[in-house]
Structure 1
């Protein structure tokens, strides 16, 4: 058996990375610090991604998207996160919000919402609530059927890009007596009467990505907004996360790579005792361990992305494992990068303190790493 190309990415993925590297460094990185410090949405990144067709590259070509597969989508998110974590949430959230539609919607529904998504109208995912986080099945937002319509009441918490996105996948309880088997998925639009938003959360990291509560006050929508079978919404929500947790692994990978790049560069610029600090064994060991961890995270993330694209039976294990490992690596590598930069690492003149703050959230959202370890254990190969 030939081993040729088994561990080499096809050239189109490397070409994609090169183009993303250029776009990210030239059109996104210059605004990353300002976006973080001003807590403002990265409109420059939004516009650049729309212009390049990468705002929602995962959208199938028949609906106006680029048709990017799971690995290509991960590379897009990774490269943007390498320079700006908040900006990387744009393609990541768009995939998360729209994947239930892609998995469960009709062709007419996909045409209705995926085409404008590809053109720049964002898509958010509404699952979590104030008292329903890891225990997602305990959600309280209700959708009551009235004739040919549904009336939604309740609220969703911690919704990324809320208020900016035009479309929202809302997971709501339609029959409380059935528990998780009474949950259904719907599409709600920002312009629907009764939809409103809370104030942006004041967060430790990802400050440029607005996180807000979404309120539904007698939001009345037609049955054409329902994208799952009645009672199948929870299963659809969980299937979605099996695919999209890998995008969080990619985001964490990008943060870790960006921090490693900054630490390596600084170690050659900073001189103490008459030589570069890179020449000290203690620093070399730190950089070596960081590089090993980043490359290992990349391998499991890309493997999980390939399994997502194929729909492999062990996807649930690899999805949870890649998210857990890559985000733990991001937290460790960004912390070590701050240490390599010393006092400069602790101030916002350099990006590593921002990357460290961003990395923390990757261990929490789309399922905490503690929950992921339960998923991993229950799905051991």
Structure 2
């Protein structure tokens, strides 16, 4: 069955990318969903395959080893990946968000190159997090926690605006004393995200390699991650609507397929309309921020707020579409054998993840 929405690929290169990603999802991602769920992480070989096909670093600057793609192309790629695994799309979004911050600063370019080469990072925004800095003779000491980070398998954490470094950033890895990645959290869905809390327990700020960053760079990181979450939500919604349409077309009652029943056909059309609206809103915001690297600080900050709103709307749409897709399956929608059961859970968890980002 054809996709229920019009994918907004504008160029021949983008259309080719859609074909590559759809094949990657069908051949590499969906057959591994059980493995991803069992381990609650993206398998190393699948991660390596993303890199070998140029998908991991698609939208990262060429100067650090990336593909140089613009933000609309990245948004499109994340949406297509999320039709198979939203957690995989969110992992790629974290990587691009981290590089969007680091690539502008000499102190961060080597770390940005590591990410482009395949290191798994997480962007951790500390602006509103309950983390405090206490002055001591040898410098500030951090205490507190970030309750949820949905890239918990990260080997590198980029901390945005930690206490004691106003407007700056810091790099941390699990070996830093006092910096603790907590146990994997239980959640409804989003298998593969390896969700954890990040804790600071007497962590000396100096050990986190802090350095000043521009306000525009920090906002760019937030924009990329929020649009990534919104694109992942649009991917979930499309996959759920496609599954519902396929089920209604295959299921026969009353002398024909259920998809021909007027009431169900109208519900399916409405479902597809919601998906298209979500996808169009993500694309419109991504297109507006195509020149992300050149945005001045005030405009980048404003756009970050707008992207937070887009992420909120799209994740809520994914939940609504997922719930309707489950209902259109009747009682079968609650069985694990049907994709909509997982997609509904993924939508709920992604909405919580997006709320944690903002």
Do both share a fold (TM > 0.5)? yes
Aligned pairs for 1:98-137 (under 5 A) are 98-102=99-103, 105-110=104-109, 112-127=110-125, 136-137=127-128
Cα distance in 2, alignment partners of residues 349 and 24 from structure 1: 18
Relative distance call for 1:81 and 1:165 in structure 2 (3 A) is same
Cα distance in 2, alignment partners of residues 347 and 355 from structure 1: 12
Among 157, 162, 180, the alignment partner of 1:172 is 162
Asked whether the equivalents of residues 153 and 218 of structure 1 are also in contact (C-alpha less than 8 Å), the reply is yes
Among 274, 278, 281, the alignment partner of 1:293 is 274
Aligned pairs for 1:199-278 (under 5 A) are 199-220=183-204, 225-229=209-213, 237-238=218-219, 240-278=221-259
Instruction: Give the secondary-structure state (helix, strand or coil) at the position aligned to 1:137.
Output: coil
Relative distance call for 1:217 and 1:73 in structure 2 (3 A) is same
Among 135, 139, 145, the alignment partner of 1:155 is 145
Among 313, 328, 336, the alignment partner of 2:316 is 328
Instruction: Give the secondary-structure state (helix, strand or coil) at the position aligned to 2:66.
Output: coil
Which structure 1 segments of 5+ residues have no match? 1-6, 129-135, 176-181, 372-381
TM-score, with length taken from structure 1: 0.80
Relative distance call for 1:223 and 1:138 in structure 2 (3 A) is closer
* Cα offset, 1:308, TM superposition: 1.8
Cα distance in 1, alignment partners of residues 34 and 245 from structure 2: 20
Asked whether the equivalents of residues 223 and 303 of structure 2 are also in contact (C-alpha less than 8 Å), the reply is yes
Relative distance call for 1:291 and 1:226 in structure 2 (3 A) is same
Instruction: Give the secondary-structure state (helix, strand or coil) at the position aligned to 2:212.
Output: coil
Asked whether the equivalents of residues 256 and 330 of structure 1 are also in contact (C-alpha less than 8 Å), the reply is yes
Cα distance in 2, alignment partners of residues 87 and 224 from structure 1: 27
Asked whether the equivalents of residues 141 and 155 of structure 1 are also in contact (C-alpha less than 8 Å), the reply is no
Relative distance call for 1:42 and 1:8 in structure 2 (3 A) is closer
* Cα offset, 1:305, TM superposition: 0.5
Relative distance call for 1:344 and 1:202 in structure 2 (3 A) is same
| Equivalence for 1:93 | 94
Cα distance in 2, alignment partners of residues 252 and 145 from structure 1: 44
Among 183, 196, 212, the alignment partner of 2:180 is 196
**Bigger RCO of structures 1 and 2 (CA < 8 A, at least 6 apart):** 2
Cα distance in 2, alignment partners of residues 87 and 262 from structure 1: 20
Relative distance call for 1:239 and 1:83 in structure 2 (3 A) is closer
Cα distance in 2, alignment partners of residues 39 and 338 from structure 1: 26
Asked whether the equivalents of residues 325 and 333 of structure 2 are also in contact (C-alpha less than 8 Å), the reply is yes
Q: How many residues align?
A: 342
* Cα offset, 1:188, TM superposition: 1.2
* Cα offset, 1:108, TM superposition: 4.4
Asked whether the equivalents of residues 194 and 218 of structure 1 are also in contact (C-alpha less than 8 Å), the reply is yes
Instruction: Give the secondary-structure state (helix, strand or coil) at the position aligned to 2:353.
Output: coil
Cα distance in 2, alignment partners of residues 188 and 241 from structure 1: 18
